[in-house]
Structure 1
Amino acid sequence: MKQQFLWSSLATAIVGVALAQSISTVAVAADKQGFEPSVEQKVTARQVSLLLDRAHYLKQPLDREMGKKILETYFDNLDASRTLLLQSDVDEFMAKYGDTFAERLKRGDLSAGIEIFERYRTRANEYYDTAKQMLAHEVDLRTDQSIVLDREEAPRFKDKAEQLQYWQNQTTDALISITLNQEGDKAKDQAFLDNPELAKGQDLVKGENRTPNEILTNRIDRQQKQLARLKDDEIMEGILNAAMMTYDPHSNYFAPVQANEMQIMSNLQLEGIGVSIRPDRKNPDYTRIISLVDGGPAQKTGQVRANDLIIGVAQEDGKMVDTIGFSTREIVALIRGPKGTSVTIRVKQPNTPDSAARNVTIVRDVVKQDESGVQHRVIEVPYEGSIKRVGVIEIPSFYLNFKARRSGADVDDYRSVSLDTEKALNALNAQNIDGLVVDLRNNPGGSLDEVAKMLGLFIKEGPVVQIRDNRGNVQIYADKDGGEQLYAGEMAVLINLGSASASEIFSAAIQDYGRGLVVGSTTTGKGSAQSQRDDLALGSATITQRKFYRVNGGSTQNKGVVPDIELVNIYEGIEFGEREYKNPLEWDTIASADFMAEGKYSQDLLARLSQISKERQANDAQFTYLKELNAIRALDDDKKPSAVNIDQRRAKNQEIENRTLAAENARRQAMGEAPYTSWATYQASQDALAEERGAMKESLRPKLPESEAYVLEAARLMFDAKR
C-alpha cells in the first residue's frame, strides 16, 4: 500500500552510525564470513532497487555511477567519523565492486555490502581490542597530543600507523572524559549527602567505585558484544538504506524491527506490554523501567513496578535470554510482539542480587500512546495592564493510524492529529480565549492528509499546499468547507529548526494567508513527500516521489520557513536539518495557486514587532540565559583540535562550568530564586529534576521556564500586531 508520509529523517536510525563513535585496535584479523542472504532478503533488495530505479522523484536510473555513489554513502554511514576503515579498504572495495554494485543490488545480490560490513566489523574489533590492551595498563593522561573528534570531512587514514596513533589518542581522550565526569559525579554525590533535600526523595547517589579504566573497558565490552549480536536484517538495512539515502535524505529502508518503530510513531499505538525503559543511570549494563502505562498489560499484572531492572526476556515456550549489556533497542525488539501472545520478563529491584529476581509473564496487547498526542491548555498572559487568556495547543507530530482508517475503524478507536486538534479547539473555544498559540517546535512532520485537514480548521477556504510529482504534474490540496472556521481568532505559530515537513506546510500556509504570526527560528527545510511502502518482502520503505510547495509557489525545500519574528535559536551552531544533509533535493518554485490572503502583515509592522521583541528578549532572563548557552556551546567545537591532556581539559571544563553556573544563577536571581552555591549543587539539582520529570506523565510535567518563554513571547507578539 502507498501512503503519503512526511516524516523527517531526523527519526531515522542507520546501522553502524552509533558504532562509529566507538574505539578500536591493531590486531590483524581475517574478516568474518558474512551471512548468506535468505530468499526474502534478496527479494527485498530487488524491490528496493526497482523503487529507486523507476519510482524516485529524481528520475535517476540506478546505473553504474549511482552504484559508486551508493558505495561512498555506505562507507560514510558505517564509519561516519572515518576512524575505522582505511583509505586502502575503501579503494579495494571501490575497485572490486564500484562498477557492478548497482547491478548487484538490482539482482538482489547483497554479497558486496555484506563483505564490506564484515571488513568494518573487523576494523571495529581491532579498535576494541587495541583499546582494551591499552586499558590493561596505566594510561598517561598528560600527553602533548591533540585530537579532532569530528572527522566527517577529514581524509581517511593512509596506513595502520596513522590509524593506531589516532586510536591511542581517542582512547586516552575517552579516559580523560570519564575521569573528569567521575570527579563531577563524586562531587554531586557529596552534594546529595550534604543536602539530602536536593534529591527530592530519590536515590541519586551513584557511589561509583570502579576505576575509569574499568568503566571504559566495560563500555567497550558492551559495544563489542552489541556489534557481534547485530542481526542479518540489520546489516541488510544498512546496505539498502545507503542506497535510498544516496537519492535523497528522506528515502529510507527500515528492517522489520525499525519498521515497527516507525508505525508506532505514526499511529501512536503499539502492541506490547506498556512500559517505558532506558539504560540504568548507575549501571548502563542494566535496563530500568521508568514508568508503566496506566491500564497497560504490565501494570495489570501487579507484579511489575517502576524502577525494576530488566535482566532477562523469554518468548512463549522459549529460553530466557540474559539481557544484561543489551541496548534498549535490542530489549524493545524482544519485548514487543503481536497482541495476544505472551512474553516473560525477568526483573529485580535495584540494589538486590540477581538471585532475588522474579519472572513475570505478560500477555501483549494494544497500548495507546495517549500521552504522545495533542495537548492543550490555557495560560494567563499579563499584557498592558490586563490579563489575556491564551489557548496553547502543542502538536508533537501529524500522526494518523493509517491501518485503522483503511480498515474502516470508528474514529473513536484510533488516533488522528486533526481529530485531536478539533477536540482541543472546541475545548478552548468554550473557555473564551483571547488568542491561540500553536506550538510546532520539534515537530518532525507526518501525514499530508492530516495537515491539510488541520489547516481547514483555521482558514476559511482555499488551497493549502501544492504537490508536484516527477512528471511535473501539480496537485492542489484545498480546504473546501464553504468558509467554515472552527477557530477564527488571533493566533501565532511557534516553529524552530526541529519543525519539519508537515509542520512547515502548516506554518507556511498560515504565513501566506496572513492568518497568524509565525514566530521562532527557521525550520528544517524538508520540502518533499514520501510514499510509505509496506508491500516489501521484509520491512518497509519510504521513497520520495513528490515535492510540496507553498500556495505562493515557493518551496520550503532546503530554505525552510523563515519566521515573521525571530526568537533566540536554541540550535545555533548545531549541525542538523536539510541544509546539513548530504544529497538534499534542490530549492525551486512553481506558479502560485489561486488564493486570497485574509490580511497580510505589512513589512513595516513586522519590522516594528521585531524591534519590540528584540528589546523584550534582551531584558528577559530566560532568553538572556539561552543566548549565553549558545555562546558557551561555541567554546567546545569537535571540529577543532582538542588537547589530549587532562590538565588542559580540566581548565577548559572549568571555564565552561563557571560561565554556565553564572548564567544559571543570573536567571534564578531574576526569578527571585536562590542561586546555587557550586557547580556540584547545580548539577545535583538538575539530575534530581530530570529524574522527577521523567517519572511523571508528560501532561503533568510543569513547563520549563526557558521553554515557556517562547510561548509567552509569541502570545505578546500576537497582541502587539493588533495594537
Structure 2
Amino acid sequence: MFYKRLLLSLLPSIALASGSVSAYEKLEPPHDYDQVAQEIVATLENVHYNKTLIDDRISEQAFENYLDSLDPSRSFFLKADIEALKRYQNDFDDALRDGDTQVAYDIYNLYRERAEARIEKVLARVPEMVKGFDYTVDESLNIDPDALEWSSTEAQLDEYWRKRIKNRALTLKLNDEPQEEIIAAIERRYNNQLRQIEQTNAVDVFQSFANSVTAALDPHTNYFAPRASEAFNINMSLSLEGIGAVLQMEDDYTKVVRLIPGGPAEAQNELAPNDRIIAVGQKDEPMVDVIGMRLDDVVDMIRGERGTDVILEVIPAKSSTQNSKKITITREKVKLEDQSAQKKIVEVERGGETFKVGVIELPTFYSDFAAIQRGDKDYKSSTRDTKKLIEELQQEDITGLILDLRNNGGGSLQEANSLTGLFIPGGPVVQIRDASGRVSILGDQDRGVTYSGPMAVMVNRMSASASEIVAGALKDYGRAIVVGDQTFGKGTVQVLQEVDQGQLKITQAKFYRVSGESTQHKGVMPDINFPSLIDTESVGESALENPLPWDHIHETRYPVYWNFEEYIDQLTSLHDTRIKQDANFVALEDQIAEAKRQAEHFKSISLNEMTREQQREDNEAKDLARENTRRKALDLPTLESVEDIEEPEQDAYAHEAAEVLLDFISLYQQNQ
C-alpha cells in the first residue's frame, strides 16, 4: 500500500534524526484487530449522526489527534520528527478502512524510542539538576498550551525539560519538602512514566489510533478495547464510588471534569472542576506522581476501601502560581439518598412582610431500577421525590417555587420527561432527531399538575443533558423563568455498539427543545444572568474539540402559560441594581474579575522562588481582604487568616433567585 512505501522511504530520515537505531522493543499491530478497524470505519460512516465519510480530511485531523495523544506537552518529538511524520497525515483513513494499521505502530515506535531515551537521560541527571537549581534567577516556564511548539533542537528540548523539572522542584520546595524528598518525588514521577510506556501494549496503541479518528467526528464518540470497555461499563457506576468525581486526561494531566452530587469530594468542598491531579497518596505511604499516567491507573489508585483516606495533590484551576495543595478525602460510596431531591425554604423580607419561596434541589435525574424490578411500590425516583416535596412545601404556604438544577449533569431521560410533567398538563417535552433525520417526540402523558404557580429554574454551566431538557421545556412553555448561567450544551445522544473486540460509543441522535432549538453546543441561555466563577471558555461543550454544532428544527405545538419575555428588561434592571448592593455578589464579582485578569496575564509561570512566594502571599491577601470586606458589610466578625475562610452559610444564588421570582410576581400582579 502507498503508506507502506512511504514508511520505507521515511525510516532512514527518522533514524538519522534520532542519532541511533532504536534498541527498544517495537510493537506490531495485533492482527485479530484488523477486522475491528474495518468495523469501526463502517459503523462511523453508517451509524454516526453525521454519517461522515472517513476520508483525507478526517485523516488529517486524526493525525493531529494521534500526535497530541502521544506527546501532548511537546516533550519528546522534535520539529524534524513532526515534519517527517506529516507524510502520513492522509493515511489514517486508509489504514482503518483496509484493516492494516501498521502506520500507527511505526509512529508509536518512534515516539517510544524518543520518550524512553529522554526519560532515561533525565533520570540520570535529576539529583545533580535539583541540587544545582538557582531559584534566585529570573526565568519562567510557558504554561499556555496554545503557545507550545515543537523544539527544533535537542538543546531546546533539554532547556524545556530543565525548566519543567525546576518548576516541579520549586513547587515541592514551596510546600516545605526537603531536597532529598524533592529528588525522590521527581525520580518517582519519571520512573513511573517510564514504566507506563513500557507497559503499553499493542492493543493500547490500537485504541489510541482508533480514538484519534473518532475524536475527529465529535468529542463523545469513542472506541473502547476490551479492558477499557470493562472499565467504562464499571465507570457508569464507578463515579458513584471512591471520591465521587468524574476524571479525564488532558495534556498529560488527570483533570477533574465534575463532582458527583452527594459524593465525598463535594462534601469535602476543596476539589473543584478543572483542578489537575498531579499526585495520589495513601496513608503513611509516599505520594505517587501521576502526571503522564494512564487514566485507568490513576482511577485505580484513587479507588479503595470505603472509609479509607486518599490524598490528592492538585493544582487548583484558579491558581495563577501553579502552586499545588494536598486534599484528603475519605472514600465512600455515594448513596442514592445522598443524591435525592431536597427541599428548603428561602425567606425574603419585603415591605415588612416575610415571603416564603420553596426550593427543590435536584442533583441528578435518578430512578431506583433495582427497587422497581423487585416490585417495590415505594421505589425512589426524582419525579416521585420532587412531587412529594412540592406537596410538603405547599403545606407551608410558599409564594413561589425554585427548581435548582445547578451542577445537575443529567441522568434518566424518562425521569426528565416525567418531572417536567409535574408542571404542565401534558404535552411534548423534547424532540429527538436521529441520523436519518427522523424526529420522535417524548412527552408527558399525565394531565395532572402538581404545581401550577410561578416558578424559576436555576442553572449553571455544569447543568447538562437532561437538566437542559427540563430547563428548556419549562422556559418554552412559559412555566418558569430561567436564572443563572449558560448551561453545558450537551445535546447529543450516544449508544453502545459491540464490535469484534470491545465496543464503540457513538453519537447517534440530537436533542431539540419543543421550540425547535437544539440544546447542543449553546445549551440553554438564562433569562436573567447571574455572575459565575465557572469559565465558559474552558468548561462546557463549546470548550471541547469538534463538538456538533447548534441548529434547529421545526417547533412542535405547545401552549405558553406565562409571558416572562414581557418582564425580562424590568427584572434584569432590578436584579442588576440589587446585586451591586449585595455584599456576597460584590465579593463574587471581584473574585471573577481577578480570575479573568490572571487568566489573561499569566501565560507563563515564574521559576524565581521569591516571586512565586510573593504571588502566593498577594493572592492570599486579596482573598482575605475580599472576604473581610464581605463580612464587614454583613456585620460579621472579620478573619485573621485565609485558612479560616469557609463557604457562606446562606446560598446567595438561591436567595437572589427568590428575589427575581418575587419581582416577577409583583410586576405580574400590577398588570392584572
Q: Is TM (by shorter chain) over 0.5?
A: yes
Query: Are 2:339 and 1:395 equivalent residues in the alignment?
Result: no
Q: Could you tell me which amino acid in structure 2 is paired with residue 542 of structure 1?
A: K
Residue deviations 1:530-588 (CA, integer Å, cap 9, x gap): 2233x344544331122222211222332221101111121247522222222122222
User: For 2:244 and 2:414, how far apart are their aligned partners in 1?
Assistant: 32
1:104 aligned to which of 60, 80, 95? 95
| SS of 2:489 mapped into structure 1 | coil
User: For 1:135 and 1:333, how far apart are their aligned partners in 2?
Assistant: 30
Query: Are 2:25 and 1:82 equivalent residues in the alignment?
Result: no
User: For 1:310 and 1:435, how far apart are their aligned partners in 2?
Assistant: 49
Cα pair 2:189 2:289 within 8 Å, conserved: no
Q: Which residue of 2 aligns with 1:448?
A: 413
User: For 2:297 and 2:353, how far apart are their aligned partners in 1?
Assistant: 54
User: For 1:651 and 1:324, how far apart are their aligned partners in 2?
Assistant: 28
Distance 1:331 1:61, change over 3 A: closer
Residue 429 of structure 1: how far off its partner (Å) = 4.7
| Number of residue equivalences | 590
Cα pair 2:405 2:458 within 8 Å, conserved: yes
The 5 Å alignment of 1:711-722 reads 711-722=654-665
Query: Are 2:105 and 1:145 equivalent residues in the alignment?
Result: no
The 5 Å alignment of 1:508-657 reads 508-533=472-497, 535-572=498-535, 574-603=537-566, 605-637=567-599, 640-657=603-620
Q: Which residue of 2 aligns with 1:283?
A: none
1:498 aligned to which of 459, 462, 467? 462
Q: Which residue of 2 aligns with 1:340?
A: none
User: For 1:447 and 1:291, how far apart are their aligned partners in 2?
Assistant: 22
Q: Which residue of 1 aligns with 2:50?
A: 58
Residue 109 of structure 1: how far off its partner (Å) = 4.2
Between 621-630 and 142-151, the greater mean CA deviation after superposition: 142-151
Cα pair 1:80 1:152 within 8 Å, conserved: no
Residue 597 of structure 1: how far off its partner (Å) = 0.9
Residue deviations 1:612-638 (CA, integer Å, cap 9, x gap): 212222222222222222222234338
Query: Are 2:652 and 1:709 equivalent residues in the alignment?
Result: yes
| SS of 2:665 mapped into structure 1 | coil
Cα pair 1:265 1:399 within 8 Å, conserved: no
| SS of 1:543 mapped into structure 2 | strand
| SS of 1:722 mapped into structure 2 | helix
Cα pair 1:268 1:369 within 8 Å, conserved: no
The 5 Å alignment of 1:347-426 reads 369-371=335-337, 373-384=339-350, 385-399=352-366, 410=375, 416-426=381-391
| SS of 1:590 mapped into structure 2 | coil
Cα pair 1:623 1:706 within 8 Å, conserved: no
Q: Could you tell me which amino acid in structure 2 is paired with residue 65 of structure 1?
A: R
Residue 600 of structure 1: how far off its partner (Å) = 2.0
Query: Are 2:427 and 1:462 equivalent residues in the alignment?
Result: yes
Q: Which residue of 1 aligns with 2:209?
A: 239
Residue deviations 1:625-679 (CA, integer Å, cap 9, x gap): 22222222234338724443333333333332221221122223344443332xx
Distance 1:378 1:576, change over 3 A: closer
Distance 1:418 1:31, change over 3 A: farther
Distance 1:145 1:368, change over 3 A: closer
User: For 1:412 and 1:46, how far apart are their aligned partners in 2?
Assistant: 48
Q: Which residue of 1 aligns with 2:5?
A: none
| SS of 1:667 mapped into structure 2 | helix
| SS of 1:136 mapped into structure 2 | helix
| SS of 1:142 mapped into structure 2 | coil
Q: Could you tell me which amino acid in structure 2 is paired with residue 500 of structure 1?
A: A
Cα pair 1:131 1:171 within 8 Å, conserved: no
Residue 508 of structure 1: how far off its partner (Å) = 1.2
Cα pair 1:29 1:126 within 8 Å, conserved: no
Distance 1:257 1:487, change over 3 A: farther
User: For 2:380 and 2:60, how far apart are their aligned partners in 1?
Assistant: 43
Cα pair 2:490 2:521 within 8 Å, conserved: yes
User: For 1:478 and 1:346, how far apart are their aligned partners in 2?
Assistant: 43
Question: Unmatched 5+ residue regions in structure 2?
Answer: 1-17, 246-262, 266-280, 312-331, 667-672
Cα pair 2:490 2:520 within 8 Å, conserved: yes
User: For 1:217 and 1:650, how far apart are their aligned partners in 2?
Assistant: 25
Query: Are 2:628 and 1:682 equivalent residues in the alignment?
Result: no
Q: Could you tell me which amino acid in structure 2 is paired with residue 570 of structure 1?
A: L
Residue deviations 1:323-372 (CA, integer Å, cap 9, x gap): 97788953755998xxxxxx99999999xxxxxxxxxxxxxxx9773255
Residue 596 of structure 1: how far off its partner (Å) = 0.8
Distance 1:552 1:458, change over 3 A: same
% identical aligned pairs: 31
The 5 Å alignment of 1:655-670 reads 655-670=618-633
| SS of 2:651 mapped into structure 1 | helix
Q: Which residue of 2 aligns with 1:330?
A: 297
Residue 208 of structure 1: how far off its partner (Å) = 6.9
Residue 478 of structure 1: how far off its partner (Å) = 1.9
Cα pair 1:310 1:346 within 8 Å, conserved: no
Residue 104 of structure 1: how far off its partner (Å) = 2.2
| SS of 1:636 mapped into structure 2 | helix
Distance 1:120 1:658, change over 3 A: farther
Query: Are 2:211 and 1:216 equivalent residues in the alignment?
Result: no
| SS of 1:143 mapped into structure 2 | coil
Structure of higher RCO (CA pairs closer than 8 Å, 6+ residues apart): 1
| SS of 2:424 mapped into structure 1 | coil
Cα pair 1:622 1:667 within 8 Å, conserved: yes
Residue 470 of structure 1: how far off its partner (Å) = 2.7
| SS of 1:606 mapped into structure 2 | helix
Residue 236 of structure 1: how far off its partner (Å) = 4.1
| SS of 2:618 mapped into structure 1 | helix
